[in-house]
Amino acid sequence: MKYALVVLIALLAVAIPAGPLAAQNLQGLGNNAPNLNVYVNPAHPGPRQQVAVTLESFATDLDRASISWSLNDTAAKQGVGQKSFTFTTGAPGTVSRIAVNIITTAGEVWQKTITIYPASVDLVWEAQSYTPPFYRGKALYPYQGTVRIVAMPDIVAAGGTEFDPNNLVYNWQIDGNPAQSASGYGKNVFVFQGGIPLKSNTISVNVSSLDQKYSAEGQTTITPVAPVVFLYDEDPLLGTLFNKALPGIITLQNQEVDLTAIPYFSGNLKRDSLTYAWQMNNQDVAGGQSTLAFRQQNGAAGNASVAVQISNPSSIFQTASGSITLSFGNGAASSF
């Protein structure tokens, strides 16, 4: 989970230049703290998270200044050169008000107050890829596949009222590049399709209220995977026995067996529209469908190596293969 931060500057503060660790949403008021920079790490703290606030100035030597800190009007830390302060944020809807008082070596008094409203946003993704019936796992994101990401913000106002996700503004990015067409008011869903080269992608979102007083940030990295194939027994009465994939070697108890190839995580949700290429003992066999029957020949016992390759005509990198060895007690196998 990634977190977010709302920061307001009050009292004798000035505008703070942006920096790598600069807190977001800083607004300066007053002009009695020239060139005083405030940094918050992490830049977007969430509920119940440890936060470090650090001061920096090029106008005075803070290492020789007397600095005192308070948290929610309670004295917390003081001393010469105390340029940093660490605290833990509260639950959503709470307020952490950090006040710092600086007496410079020239006798000037600088004051600054930072108000933090912790907030968070979860990103939940689901791939649009094929999984068979009764599959309990997560459908994975295949090469050149499509993934749907939903932002689930937890932003609570100081009064305890939680924001409706539909009433927030969402700014999406992919690998640091703005996705303007997917961003906007109430757009908490982002749909992304992988391309070439095959690589991981980082999706991030900034969620904010209309007045931008409250905001949250989150991100997730999604790595594509290759589809996989498992072989199942196709029972003439019960259909495909999805309860158990066939192991690497099986011994036939009947005269023939029907094998069904199931492509996990193919980007094409209609497995009948995929291409199936079967082989037996490294020789191509007829049949381009997902199910193929194999029958024992009368004669000597033996083994047969059966392999299938599945490909998606619309996505060249969505290919997968599976194999199995059939052991025939009364003879070698043949396909038909």
pLDDT digits (tens, 9 = 90+) for 160-170: 899 999 999 99
CATH number for the domain harbouring residue 6? 2.60.40.10
Could you say which of 188, 222, 256 is where a domain stops? Answer: 222
Give 162's strand partners. 156
Tens-digit pLDDT profile for residues 226-276: 999 999 999 988 999 998 899 988 887 777 889 999 999 998 888 888 999
Mean pLDDT of 45-72: 94
CA dist., res. 24 & res. 29, Å (int): 16
Question: Apex CA 58: angle with CA 55 and CA 61, to 5°?
Answer: 75
Q: Give pLDDT, residue 306.
A: 92
Question: What token pair was written down for 275?
Answer: 């291409």
Same domain (yes/no): 130, 111 = no
Report pTM: 0.76
pLDDT band at 296 (very low <50, low <70, confident <90, very high): confident
Tokens 């196709």 — which residue?
A: 234
Same domain (yes/no): 242, 212 = no
Q: Give pLDDT, residue 10.
A: 30
Same domain (yes/no): 144, 209 = yes
Same domain (yes/no): 99, 8 = yes
Same domain (yes/no): 161, 246 = no
Phi, psi angles (nearest 5°) of residue 185? -70, 125
Could you say which of 77, 97, 117 is where a domain stops? Answer: 117
CA dist., res. 253 & res. 220, Å (int): 49
Give 66's strand partners. 80, 103
Same domain (yes/no): 79, 181 = no
Report the mean per-residue pLDDT for the chain: 84
Same domain (yes/no): 28, 77 = yes
Same domain (yes/no): 161, 234 = no
Measuring CA to CA, how many Å separate 58 from each of 10, 23, 100, 303, 307? Answer: 21, 19, 17, 80, 70
Same domain (yes/no): 34, 99 = yes
Three-state secondary structure of the chain: CEEECCEEEECCCCCCCCCCCECCCCCCCCCCCCCEEEEEECCCCCCCCEEEEEEEECCCCHHHCEEEEEECCEEEEEEECCCEEEEECCCCCCCEEEEEEEECCCCCEEEEEEEECCEEEEEEEEECCCCCCCCCCCCCCECCCEEEEEEEEECECCCCCECCHHHCEEEEEECCEECHHHCEECCCEEEEECCCCCCCEEEEEEEECCCCCCEEEEEEEECCECCEEEEEEEECCCEECCCCCCCCEEECCCCEEEEEEEEECCCCCCHHHCEEEEEECCEECCCCCCEEEEEECCCCCEEEEEEEEEEECCEEEEEEEEEEEEEECCCCEEEC
Overall domain count for the chain: 3
Q: Give pLDDT, residue 34.
A: 63
Same domain (yes/no): 160, 261 = no
Same domain (yes/no): 154, 73 = no
- Asked whether the predicted pLDDT for residue 12 surpasses 50, the reply is no
Could you say which of 117, 140, 161 is where a domain stops? Answer: 117
The domain in which residue 160 lies consists of: 120-222
Same domain (yes/no): 259, 325 = yes
